[in-house]
Amino acid sequence: MALVQLRSDDSEPVADRVDRALALTRDAAGPADLVVLPELWVCGAFDVEGAQRLAEPVDGPLVAAFRSVAATAGTWIHLGAVPERDGERTHNTSVVLAPDGTVAATYRKRHLFGFDGGETTLMTAGDDLVALDTPLGRTGVATCYDLRFPEQFRSLVDLGATAFLMASGWPERRIEHWRVLLRARAIEDQAWVVACNGVGTQAGVTLGGRSAVVDPLGTVVAEADTGEEVLVATIDPALPERWRHEFPALDDRR
């Protein structure tokens, strides 16, 4: 696993950031089976107006550039969540690419953040739950604020998920919530949690980093610091089933 904890700052030209993200992903994709990027790294997670301005269809040039990287390296890439244009609507959409460069899955963020502003006024929420087979096993996809809604993750378990992939733009001031909730979702669902957060400052909000890989028992296998870095971890996809057999708490649901 390689988690690209990318920096997104208002002061950096978008084209430069895209070039850097592509370069970091190419470097990580060689040795890794799966590479993950953060949420809305193109514009910055809190630059929602920028997300509207930069939104593209899933078959646009941004995704195409990463499809080429995935196909060349033969590696799964979770492109993170990108601003998707679909007609008059803008979605916060996670894109997962297969090793042949095809789009394996897309997931439109269900829980939009902002209460009475931000994403809730400028973007359209998705409705669907998404799970697919990856090197992690059966893998559910979620995005940032979804982490606060445990029922979504339990529903993904009902779809067979033994791992969760998450792109995020979680702010520094609530980063301890992030660290606790990642472990909680892993423990209660007996599943791997692979979560890539961003860093940098957008619209006056500083992101907290601390991307992490958490095992099904809630042990933090690897955690990033608060700057730009590529976090690497090795996981065992069979561990969730072994732990669920040894400690069958999910069988006692009522």
Q: What domains are defined for the chain?
A: 2-252 (3.60.110.10)
Taking the C-alpha atoms of residue 56 and residue 50, their distance in angstroms, rounded to an integer, is 12
pLDDT band at 48 (very low <50, low <70, confident <90, very high): confident
The tens digit of pLDDT for each residue in 170-189 reads 999 999 999 999 999 999 99
196 a catalytic residue: no
The tens digit of pLDDT for each residue in 80-102 reads 999 999 999 999 999 999 999 99
The residue annotated as part of the active site, out of 43, 84, 109, 119, is 109
> What pTM was estimated for this model as a whole?
0.97
Length of the chain: 254
pLDDT band at 117 (very low <50, low <70, confident <90, very high): confident
Residue 104 in this model has a pLDDT that exceeds 80: yes
Residue 21: its H or E element: helix 14-29
pLDDT band at 238 (very low <50, low <70, confident <90, very high): very high
Residue 116 in this model has a pLDDT that exceeds 80: no
The residue annotated as part of the active site, out of 43, 84, 119, 144, is 144
Other residues' Cβ atoms within 10 Å of the Cβ of residue 170 = 28
151 a catalytic residue: no
Give the pLDDT confidence score for residue 101 in this predicted structure.
98
